[in-house]
Amino acid sequence: MRVALIQMMVTADKGQNLRTACGRIREAAQNGADFAVLPEMFCCPYDNSCFAAYGEPEGGEVQTTLSALAAKLGIYLVGGSLPELAEGRIYNTSYVYGPDGRQIAKHRKAHLFDIDVQGGQRFRESDTLSPGNRITTFETAFGTMGLCICFDLRFEELARCMCLRGAKVLFVPAAFNMTTGPAHWELLFRQRAVDNQCFTVGVSPARDTRGPYVAYGNSIAVDPWGTVLCRAGAEETALYADLDMDRLEAVRAQLPILSARRTDLYEVRER
């Protein structure tokens, strides 16, 4: 299963962002990718002031373009995320399309990025965005996959629920910043892979130091043993990770973490 991690530069021009993404997706298909993955908020600057203006309702231009391209190329496409306008609200939403162009998954970011790090980054997604309320997995020819967005990955309960549903790979469009990225990016992707004995794939925008939000970049793929299969730097690039599902089964057989879970103990009780 070959996955293309598309780390692209995101500009203030929505049309140009979509053209860049489509060009990279075509290149991924030519290089034998079964999946192509875009970054979080790949079609607009990651800024609260932009989400409403760049957003679109279900079936909007960006979604129909990605759907048609997935069908034309015959690949699975994890469409990063974009601002979804629905129910009078704005959601940070990721759409997934199958090789026939059909939408096979939709995830609204469940945990909003509201942080205030002393001496570092301050950001409040909840000033404009609303949270989703579902755990997202979807079926493919390669098995069950999981999907979450950026800050969602920090919550082990969410990752574990995807894993217990059978997810073999956790796809994570994300945009860590220059405060949280150096500290936690690789750590979290390796940690979730080891804890859940699955592959993790994180795809970030490229770093633009002139933009309103400076993404860390460093798109990454990790195997169930915690080994980093590929990792980008800050630049615009496309990486390829070949995920061996036999490797996943071998790790689970050698270290029976999932099968040895003591669910009879995992409950907070009064002493």
Give the strands of the sheet with 228-231, arranged side by side. 136-140, 143-147, 169-173, 199-203, 220-222, 228-231
Q: What digits encode the pLDDT tens for the residues 11-56?
A: 999 999 999 999 999 999 999 999 999 999 999 999 889 999 999 9
Identity of residue 36: A
Q: Give CA–CA dist 158/15, Å, rounded.
A: 33
Answer yes or no: are the C-beta atoms of 233 and 218 closer than 8 Å.
Answer: yes
With tokens 């800024």, the residue in question is 47
Q: Rounding to the nearest 10 degrees, give the CA dihedral for residues 50, 28, 228, 138.
A: 70
Residue 118: pLDDT above 70?
no
State the first-to-last Cα distance of the chain, in angstroms, to the nearest integer.
Answer: 48
Q: Give CA–CA dist 49/211, Å, rounded.
A: 13
pLDDT of residue 110: 96
- Give the DSSP letter of residue 89: E
pTM, entire model: 0.95
With tokens 């692209």, the residue in question is 8
Q: Give CA–CA dist 173/149, Å, rounded.
A: 5
Read out DSSP for 112-178? --EEE-TTS-EEEGGGT-B-----EEEEETTEEEEE--GGGGG-HHHHHHHHHTT-SEEEEE---BT
pLDDT of residue 123: 67
Task: Characterize the bridge pairing of strands 220-222 and 199-203.
Answer: antiparallel
Q: Give CA–CA dist 248/243, Å, rounded.
A: 9
Q: Give CA–CA dist 1/26, Å, rounded.
A: 17
**CB atoms < 10 A from the CB of 13, how many?**
12
How far is C-alpha 126 from the chain's CA centre? 19
**Count, residues in the chain:** 271
Q: State both tokens at 56.
A: 């679109």
Mean pLDDT of 72-80: 98
Residues that are catalytic: 40, 109, 150
Q: What digits encode the pLDDT tens for the residues 121-177?
A: 666 787 889 999 999 999 999 999 999 999 999 999 999 999 999 999 999 999 999
